[in-house]
Amino acid sequence: MRAYYFDNLPGDQRLPHDFNPSRPVDPDTLQSIKVESWYIPVEGHEDKLDGVAKERDYRNRDVIEISKNGLGDIYEEKLKGFYKEHIHEDEEIRYILQGGGFFDVRQAPSDQWIRLAVSAGDLLVIPAGIYHRFTVDERNLTRTVRLFKDEPKWSAIYRGTESESNPHRIEYIKSISVAA
């Protein structure tokens, strides 16, 4: 996984949107906002992924493929929904099996976007309460394992009054020692 500051320029969300020269984000910065990642080779990943699931108390998983072929006519609509800034009440844990994309996370308190470029073998944990969004890259394909504590679900709370007063957002801000 490669992390860098998003350039905020208009254009296709599937492009890298990297500054020139790039403005990389170091692991300490990611740790300060509670974003975790590591690499597990796809070949033979099952045991290591099972270990992560057990350690973090995840009981369920599914595999989602985001592609033009897989989603057909609703592909562009789904991409727009994933790319709308939101939070979740559970941490989001994703393991990339094929293809790739970008998770953008908001750095608090600066509110800058950090872009996380992920590809096959990358495992990413995004904490509950952090603003984020997702898009595929120019390959228009990602096949991803999603881990869940309970039944598989994807419930987004889009940025606004409701998200700012959400207890998971408030707890996240406290956990990174940023005044609300």
Binding site feature residues for Fe(2+):
86, 88, 92, 132
Give dist(CA 53, CA 74) in Å, integer: 31
Contact, 58 vs 46, CB < 8 A? Answer: no
Peptide bond into 21 cis (omega under 30): yes
Give dist(CA 35, CA 30) in Å, integer: 5
Closest CA to 94 of 120, 68, 113, 131: 120
Contact, 91 vs 126, CB < 8 A? Answer: yes
Per the annotation, where are the binding residues?
Answer: 86, 88, 92, 132
Per the annotation, where are the binding residues for Ni(2+)?
Answer: 86, 88, 92, 132
